[in-house]
Structures are given as C-alpha cells and as structure tokens.
Amino acid sequence: MRNDLYVQETEEKARAMERAEFEKRQRQKQELQEAKEYQMKLKAERLAEEKRMEDEFKIKMAEKFAEDERLEQMNAQKRRMRELQHKRDIEKLW
C-alpha cells in the first residue's frame, strides 16, 4: 500500500513536471511569436518611412530639375536676345 502511494505520488510529480514543462514551452513559443510580430511591425514601419523619404526625394529632385530647366531656357533666351542685339548693332555700324 505504501509502495502504491509512493508510485502514485511519483507519477503525479512527473505529470506535474510535464505540465509545467509544456506550459513553459507554450509561453516561450508565445513570446517568440510576439517578438517576431513586433520585429515585422518595425520592419514594415521602417520600409514605409524609407518609401516616404524616397518619394519625397524624387519629388524634390523633379522640382529641382524643372527649375534648372527653366533657368537654362531663360539663359538660352537671353543669349539669343544678346546675339540678335549684336547683329542689330553690327548692322547699324555697317
């Protein structure tokens, strides 16, 4: 009888340890899953920020190139006007 009681207690301790180990593994699994989800969220936020910065950069560069083109056209027009004025001056001198 005492032996049976000892065996039962031992089996119960083993089952309790198995349950505790199972619960510990479940908690670790849950923590790892949460950590993975957090990292994925951070990565998505970082990629979104990079995309926003890239788009902003592209817009600023397009504006800069448009302004440069406008200035270049103005300079070309001024150059043509000077050339025409020089031709007129030469004609007058001739």
Mean pLDDT on 34-43: 98
- Tell me the residue length of the chain: 94
Average pLDDT of every residue of the chain: 93
This prediction's pTM: 0.56
Task: Give DSSP secondary structure letters for the chain.
Answer: -HHHHHHHHHHHHHHHHHHHHHHHHHHHHHHHHHHHHHHHHHHHHHHHHHHHHHHHHHHHHHHHHHHHHHHHHHHHHHHHHHHHHHHHHHHHH-
Mean pLDDT on 13-25: 95
CA 3 to CA 41: how far, in whole Å? 57
The pLDDT > 70 percentage for the chain reads: 100
pLDDT above 80: residue 33: yes
Q: According to the model, what pLDDT value does residue 21 have?
A: 97
